[in-house]
Chain A
């Protein structure tokens, strides 16, 4: 039994079908890369896995640790051990990073976390992500730069210790230093905590820092091609168009255009 098991997943948003039968499994301790051009359905998959209300599952199943979760509320999925690092994290005015983390951690626990334990874990996480101590007293994502937002996502991931994390284009908009820090953070959580990761990306460069064991190429709402890290190199050489020609998917723009769908 895989930890995260997606079978024949069909999803639509506002009457338009975006995912057209996705099959994918991610286990703890595995690193998967999900690649694909804009509009292929990568972010739709990410949002659907956490249960965004705008995305409607019309067919198929999502099992997490053996349980069907399609009907589960987003917070129940999070408590079960799923995590989504957002492509565009929203800001929460008036709530500090530290306070938000405390709330999120306590939401998963019976007893509130002890002050000292929380402080230690936070210290560990901010060292891992190479952020300044003052970072945690700022309002979450409020006025954060793109790099700070992405670090805050990984900081949350480090504190919440999910079993499987979906990283939705965490690499986009990062300079090389921020990219390295974020990637090293993910790598460390993977090796230290056995995190399973589904790294969604449009580009190859984050995969220079985190080596995936499995690579999936998504075209037009389906996984068109799967393999190992050699697929990344092939993509780098040939681009998506070549793969699309070979595997017969329709042009993405015709059916699933729009922002990050």
Chain B
């Protein structure tokens, strides 16, 4: 595979952003600021949760929602991600009764049967299933819908809700903040170490649905836990929307392994989500989203080290097919030092799909002794697929190291020939190459059922892209 490696170190400021706000939130609420609000900026800092009540926050967000247009993200010279084809007015928030019968088929078919600490399932607009290991409940773990948390754990809720999430950047973010229903709340008390994962599921059970999912997770001092989020939809015809918001706060010394499997099926599912993870003093987060496509997916993923000694591994895998579009903005933010970061993403595309990735390392003034590295590797598996990857570095401290590298690959015919000469057919050889390409990340999931699920999904996608891959061979 051709190896186009770039490394930019030190105090390079290669981002397209014109300026960086210092600590204050870069939230533009004025309707006319719409275009600026959809530039590739880190959220960076304080969110909307500033002491206002949930009701007040919802009302403020609703005002933005009503006065803004569907978002269009422009990365000048590279790509444009437009949600203008979404017929938002035609979608409804659909509710379901709680009960086993309300768990969508796609959830039953996809989720691995395995030991777990707890599980919460939201179908369309409603949480339809909550379970928590009674032993953990007795030790103070809380797992419930976010709606319930707002009522029953009002103090915790008020302390953390929207602490780093905003509502004013674009219409779909505002929609979530104003209109969210169901949601998930997980609180892990200090010092608890939990081996099995908490599973949080957002499923869209058919077309015509707008799902405003919202997750809030707090890990108290010294705790250790795993979270697996699943975002699932079956293969249906018609539009649906998931506008999600996710926030995770790790207190001093807390450790979390966070994984996400997102596969919106072959329907026209739009996804515009913002996820923020905040790593506190000496805390650690390993975050690995696996983004397996949807009609149009836009993810703002921000992993912020907010206290000295915080460390993180920010991994990610994406794989698009057919005519899917994906736009990922991954931010490795260091607000203070010493801190560590390690960002490693891998993406592949088949069909006429298009994946756009921007990885931003941002090191604030005063975040001395921060050491971070960003690498993005991509592979195009069909002649018309396209993956763009832009690494950016925005450094405002001098005693740091920050660099990036990456590769852009196509299918290597010599590698395929080698495997064919051992008896593997072309399709198998391609599967081996792609699995091998993703393997460094898959093995980092350190969770066999999850690894197997992602592997199976990759295989499934390759099987359906078989014609493309054959066309690739003859086009060369």
Interface residues, chain A, with chain B CB atoms under 8 Å away: 50-54, 73-75, 77-79, 83-84, 86, 89-90, 92-95, 100, 103-104, 107-108, 139, 156, 160
Contacts and interface: CB of A to CB of B under 8 A. Distances in A.
Given A90-B412, A95-B439, A52 B417 contact: yes
A94 B435 contact: yes
Contact of B436 (A75, A79, A89, A92): A92
A92 B422 CA distance: 13
B411 interface: no
Given A52-B417, A53-B473, A94 B422 contact: no
Contact of B423 (A54, A90, A93, A104): A104
Contacts of A74: 417, 420-421
Contacts of B432: 92, 95, 100, 103
A108 B436 contact: no
Contact of B421 (A50, A93, A100, A108): A50
Interface in B429-445: 432-433, 435-440
A14 B415 CA distance: 20
Nearest to A99: B432
B69 interface: no
A52 B421 CA distance: 9
Contacts of A107: 422-425, 428
A94 B421 contact: no
Interface centre among A51, A74, A89 (most CB of B within 10 A): A74
A20 B225 CA distance: 68
A50 B461 CA distance: 29
Contacts of B437: 93-94
Contacts of B79: none
30 contacts: A50-B417, A53-B413, A54-B413, A73-B420, A74-B417, A74-B421, A75-B420, A75-B423, A75-B425, A75-B426, A78-B423, A83-B421, A84-B421, A89-B418, A92-B418, A92-B432, A92-B436, A93-B439, A93-B440, A94-B436, A94-B439, A95-B435, A100-B432, A103-B424, A103-B428, A104-B419, A104-B422, A107-B422, A107-B428, A160-B422
A54 B419 CA distance: 16
Contacts of B415: 90, 92
Contacts of B418: 86, 89-90, 92
B423 A160 contact: yes
B417 A78 contact: no
B414 interface: yes
B146 to A, nearest CB: 39
B448 to A, nearest CB: 16
Contacts of A79: 423
Nearest to B425: A75
Nearest to B433: A92
Contacts of B420: 50-51, 73-75, 78
Nearest to B476: A53
Contacts of A139: 436
A93 B437 CA distance: 7
Contacts of B473: 53
